[in-house]
Amino acid sequence: MSDKVAMEKIVSLCKRRGFVFPSSEIYGGLASCWDYGPMGVELKRNIKDAWWKAMVQERNDVIGIDTSIMMHPGVWKASGHIDNFTDPLVECKSCHLRWRADEIASDKPRTCTKCGGELTEPRMFNLMFKTFMGPVEEEASTIYLRPETAQGMFVNFENATTTSRKRLPLGIAQIGKSFRNEITPGNFIFRTREFEHMELEYFVKPGTDEAWFDYWVKERFNWYLKLGIAKENLRLRQHGKDELAHYAKDCYDIECLFPMGWSELEGIANRSDYDLTQHAKHSGKDLRYYDAESGERYVPYVIEPSAGVDRSLLAFLIDAYHEEMVEEETRVVLRLHPSLAPMKVAVLPLSRNEKLTPLAKEVYRQLCPNFMTCYDDSQSIGRRYRRQDEIGTPFCVTIDFQSLEDNQVTIRERDSLAQIRVPIKELEQTLQAKLKGERFDATALWATRQKSQ
Amino acid sequence: MSDKVAMEKIVSLCKRRGFVFPSSEIYGGLASCWDYGPMGVELKRNIKDAWWKAMVQERNDVIGIDTSIMMHPGVWKASGHIDNFTDPLVECKSCHLRWRADEIASDKPRTCTKCGGELTEPRMFNLMFKTFMGPVEEEASTIYLRPETAQGMFVNFENATTTSRKRLPLGIAQIGKSFRNEITPGNFIFRTREFEHMELEYFVKPGTDEAWFDYWVKERFNWYLKLGIAKENLRLRQHGKDELAHYAKDCYDIECLFPMGWSELEGIANRSDYDLTQHAKHSGKDLRYYDAESGERYVPYVIEPSAGVDRSLLAFLIDAYHEEMVEEETRVVLRLHPSLAPMKVAVLPLSRNEKLTPLAKEVYRQLCPNFMTCYDDSQSIGRRYRRQDEIGTPFCVTIDFQSLEDNQVTIRERDSLAQIRVPIKELEQTLQAKLKGERFDATALWATRQKSQ
């Protein structure tokens, strides 16, 4: 992404190769809703799995949870969402176009940028979707679709810590859908009304919160680096005092260089003891933690790294997108980290041939229980390589006529374009090692190739 | 589950060991909403992963997808949900208790079973949750939370097949949340208003549909068997002609013996060409498939195996639950299939000791990147074994003082209670082989133990 790629190229690749489709497209779509296609769903799964592995599986100080989208309305009263989760809405009195007031520069005259009409005074608009539970609308309880997964961790703090018998510092992690009735969604899957959160609430002893805050800012920044996003496309930005949410003691955004400019990829906030204090007050439950070591009882502070799955997916796609000259043709390649690539291996018989097909299918059947593997036998091998490059498949395995004699196949590497020949019986092991063992640096691999030419 | 376990025992285990908590419990809960705790979220992930592996990864004829919960209202008009997705609601005129009319035996007098009051005539009540998208409620579009994921596959049929360049027969698979405003939810997580679907829409050439229907009924039945549910607790039930949905040509339920009796675990329906025909009509798009082999153009038939994640999770828990006499004490053990067990391994130092702790932590750090591993050093080793039995952990690894000298540890097996001693450097490999390689039959393992005593 050293040369910023246009969003249109990403949207087009996503549609063409089955990453992302407009939702309900045959009905003209639904504003800002998107569906993940066969490649998109795998990429999304891989991002979530990578997060879960780093944040839950490999840590003895974090436990997972999966709470319901529909929660008791008391939760949103206590959290402040019913009263404060609002955006200032202004509307043009002539053409009825709507904006968030805070997105209009304050030095601009208050006239519509589209038709020049006069704008209304801002009014506060709550971003929570509401619905009705129970069979009769008038009587049924009004409930809300959660705008964040975080409250699920706070209201389960006691249940989760007690049953897991762990001590502080302790994190509770969750991945799941959230909903926000945004006034101005946009930029493809960057800001949508339905999206997926990956959130950690890390509970610590007051006084240790600042050190843990620093720790998590670094940890989360490094997570994106490890998964291949170029350092020059990431930066940290500390929130100014005037910008901090009322509950936050400190906050950093991890920003990424998107086509529309630097934008928030993830926020890491020191939420102080705000949430548990509020829930204790509103529920009447004592949510203090008993610290067996010091004999104290206190309300923990919370450090919250909050990321979006869809937004991360967009960042990984944009960063991985490259156009390169190969054999005097432009190739589009997604240099995705192997652990994120939707398909790990493509099995490609040189041609659709009655001798090659059975062997190729046998190779496919051997590999598919271990790796997401695709099988493709249509059109020329060159075009099939390009298709795999476009979806970021790290390895293509080609079965040719020689394979019928020596039981060997060719592995072609996406980044270096190097080809090596391996016995079929060593194929699984070789791919396993390549996918797992090697340090991943697609750019270095590409540079190696450029030099060797 | 040869002796049917009471639901209360399952609910209590789920609460005690962190599988399932009532949602928003500190606020008194929210009717029929449940949260998955640290063990529940892992079990749920494993069930979904097992389904995805069997249904998508290991099949060249199925592709995945992940569509949005909020869809264009036209989808629900075409599918028939706006007009027909209703239950007949009756209410007691005195105490206002509500029922589904079809749940009241028709030979009973129409009086309230609670207070004896008179019941209203049934009125049709739509089960879709509705909400409003856009900033002004009166003008905003009324949209619905999807009551099934299936429509996401139908409206993306063309996008998904075109971009994946595959031919029929071809399946599109999805896992995701669905919502139904049930009049009478209940039986713990069996019937809830918010739940997770695992659905496959398998598109075939008309005329081949009956053979594929039979295939999928068998395939899905075997999936539960392979994952350890006892054959005597599963059965197939064909829908009677009067019971079939208007779009269905045939339908089987896979039923499971739950504590409340035989109930539906999964439905497999032959949906004919109903859905694509409806969407073609309402959207104006030609959704026929061009069959390159025969040169024909036709609307495919659809076979749909539709399962619930939460319901499967309940079935796996109930089936795995056993109480056994071990050393003159009752032990509660979840004989979960190893691939479903929330934790694969528990690392247990014999005691919390300054010499054992560093070695035990080292073993934990070696294992946790490869397996969901838990570390527990509190209370007696006997109690810790019981805790692991209760959450179904297949293997406990014990580090004792001997380990400090010979670098060996003890693996204790959940089902046979056999203990073997292995070098630490072979531990990962040994566990990997045990988890992957062996045919799983917990009951046989337990029987072996009983005989050898």
**CA separation for the pair A182, A308 (Å, rounded):** 15
CB B155 within 8 Å of CB A26: yes
Here the tokens at position B201 are 């829409």
For residue B212, the number of C-alpha atoms closer than 13 Å in the C-beta half-sphere is 26
Q: Which residues of A184-206 are buried (b: 16+ CB within 10 A; e: fewer)?
A: ebebbbbbbbbbbbbbbbbbbbe
Whether the pLDDT of residue A1 is over 60: the answer is no
What's phi and psi for A104, nearest 5 deg? -95, 125
pLDDT band at A124 (very low <50, low <70, confident <90, very high): confident
- What is the DSSP-derived secondary structure letter of residue A121? P
Whether the pLDDT of residue B125 is over 90: the answer is no
Q: What is the mean pLDDT of residues B60-84?
A: 96
Asked if A133 reaches chain B (Cβ–Cβ under 8 Å), the answer is yes
Contact yes or no for B135 and A155 at CB 8 A? no
Asked if A16 reaches chain B (Cβ–Cβ under 8 Å), the answer is yes
**pLDDT (0 to 100) of residue A327:** 84
Here the tokens at position A254 are 């991890």
Q: Which residues of B touch A60 (CB under 8 A)?
A: 364, 368, 375
Whether the pLDDT of residue A453 is over 60: the answer is no
pLDDT above 90: percentage of residues in chain A: 80
pLDDT above 70: percentage of residues in chain B: 93
Relative orientation angle of helices A38-52 and A309-320, to the nearest 10 degrees: 110
**pLDDT (0 to 100) of residue A2:** 42
**Strands A62-64 vs A170-179: parallel, antiparallel or unpaired:** parallel
pLDDT digits (tens, 9 = 90+) for B202-256: 999 999 999 999 999 999 999 999 999 999 999 999 999 999 988 899 999 999 9
Q: How far is A80 from chain B (nearest CA, A)?
A: 15
Asked if B355 reaches chain A (Cβ–Cβ under 8 Å), the answer is no
Q: How far is A410 from chain B (nearest CA, A)?
A: 21
**Least confident piece of the model among A59-68, B131-140, B350-359, B401-410:** B131-140
CB A259 within 8 Å of CB A6: yes
Contact yes or no for A17 and B143 at CB 8 A? no
Contact yes or no for B70 and A378 at CB 8 A? no
**pLDDT (0 to 100) of residue A367:** 97
Contact yes or no for B27 and A65 at CB 8 A? no
**CA separation for the pair A206, A193 (Å, rounded):** 35
**CA separation for the pair B394, B415 (Å, rounded):** 7
**CA separation for the pair A69, A72 (Å, rounded):** 10
**CA separation for the pair B47, B319 (Å, rounded):** 14
Nearest Cβ partner for B368 among A57, A64, A181: A57
Q: What is the mean pLDDT of residues A393-421?
A: 97
**Least confident piece of the model among A64-68, A245-249, B387-391:** A245-249
Residue B69, classed as helix, strand or coil, is: coil
Residue A90, classed as helix, strand or coil, is: strand
pLDDT digits (tens, 9 = 90+) for A157-177: 999 999 999 999 999 999 999
Which residues fall within 8 angstroms of residue A52, CB to CB, at 6 or more apart?
A64, A173, A175, B45
CB B418 within 8 Å of CB B453: no
Is the N-terminal amide bond of B305 cis, ω within 30° of 0?
Answer: no
**What torsion, rounded to 10 degrees, do the Cα atoms B266, B271, B276, B278 define?**
-110
pLDDT digits (tens, 9 = 90+) for B413-437: 999 999 999 999 999 999 999 998 6
Q: Which residues of B touch A89 (CB under 8 A)?
A: 135
pTM: predicted TM-score of the whole model, two decimal places: 0.95
Contact yes or no for A60 and B375 at CB 8 A? yes
**pLDDT (0 to 100) of residue A23:** 95
Residue in chain B lying closest to A56 (CA): B372
**pLDDT (0 to 100) of residue A440:** 59
- Only one residue has tokens 């679907």, namely B197
Question: CA A387 → CA A352, A394, A431, B71, distances in Å?
Answer: 17, 12, 20, 30
Residue in chain B lying closest to A280 (CA): B26
Q: Which residues of B touch A181 (CB under 8 A)?
A: 132-135
Q: Which residues of B touch A152 (CB under 8 A)?
A: 35
**pLDDT (0 to 100) of residue B21:** 97
Which of B71, B72, B87 is the best mutation test for A, with the most CBs of A within 10 A?
Answer: B72
**CA separation for the pair B453, B449 (Å, rounded):** 6
- Across chain A, mean pLDDT equals 93
For residue A77, the number of C-alpha atoms closer than 13 Å in the C-beta half-sphere is 11
Contact yes or no for A57 and B183 at CB 8 A? no
**pLDDT (0 to 100) of residue B441:** 65
Residue in chain B lying closest to A133 (CA): B181
What's phi and psi for A385, nearest 5 deg? -60, -45
Whether the pLDDT of residue B2 is over 50: the answer is no
Question: CA A107 → CA A110, A120, B141, distances in Å?
Answer: 9, 16, 34
Q: Which residues of B touch A278 (CB under 8 A)?
A: none
Nearest Cβ partner for A194 among B25, B69, B132: B69
Which residues fall within 8 angstroms of residue B436, CB to CB, at 6 or more apart?
none
Q: Which residues of B touch A368 (CB under 8 A)?
A: 57-58, 60
Nearest Cβ partner for A66 among B36, B134, B155: B36
Relative orientation angle of helices B427-436 and B356-367, to the nearest 10 degrees: 50
Asked if B160 reaches chain A (Cβ–Cβ under 8 Å), the answer is yes
Whether the pLDDT of residue B281 is over 70: the answer is yes
Q: What is the DSSP string of A148-212?
A: -SHHHHHHTHHHHHHHHT-PSSEEEEEEEEEE---SS-BTTTTB-SEEEEEEEEEEE-TTSHHHH
**pLDDT (0 to 100) of residue B336:** 97
Contact yes or no for A36 and B129 at CB 8 A? no
Asked if B352 reaches chain A (Cβ–Cβ under 8 Å), the answer is no
Nearest Cβ partner for B27 among A18, A37, A74: A74
Asked if A416 reaches chain B (Cβ–Cβ under 8 Å), the answer is no
Whether the pLDDT of residue B92 is over 80: the answer is yes
What's phi and psi for A55, nearest 5 deg? -95, -25
CB A320 within 8 Å of CB A312: no
Asked if B47 reaches chain A (Cβ–Cβ under 8 Å), the answer is no
What's phi and psi for A349, nearest 5 deg? -65, 140
**pLDDT (0 to 100) of residue B134:** 84
Q: How far is B447 from chain A (nearest CA, A)?
A: 31
pLDDT digits (tens, 9 = 90+) for B158-215: 999 999 999 999 999 999 999 999 988 999 999 999 999 999 999 999 999 999 999 9
pLDDT digits (tens, 9 = 90+) for A334-388: 999 999 999 999 999 999 999 999 999 999 999 999 999 999 999 999 999 999 9
**pLDDT (0 to 100) of residue A166:** 93
- Only one residue has tokens 């209203």, namely B120
- Only one residue has tokens 């910023």, namely A4
Whether the pLDDT of residue B1 is over 60: the answer is no
Q: Which residues of A touch B177 (CB under 8 A)?
A: 69, 177
- Only one residue has tokens 């073997």, namely B420
Asked if A67 reaches chain B (Cβ–Cβ under 8 Å), the answer is yes
More confident call, A356 vs A137: A356
Q: Any long-range contacts for B373-379 (C-beta under 8 Å, 24+ apart)?
A: B373/A57, B373/B343, B373/B344, B373/B345, B373/B346, B373/B347, B374/B343, B374/B345, B374/B346, B374/B347, B375/A60, B375/B346, B375/B347, B375/B348, B376/A165, B376/B346, B376/B347, B376/B348, B377/B348, B377/B349, B377/B351, B377/B352, B378/A165, B378/B352
For residue A378, the number of C-alpha atoms closer than 13 Å in the C-beta half-sphere is 6
- Across chain B, mean pLDDT equals 93
Is the N-terminal amide bond of B169 cis, ω within 30° of 0?
Answer: yes
Whether the pLDDT of residue A225 is over 70: the answer is yes
Residue in chain A lying closest to B13 (CA): A163
Beta bridge mates, B195: B178
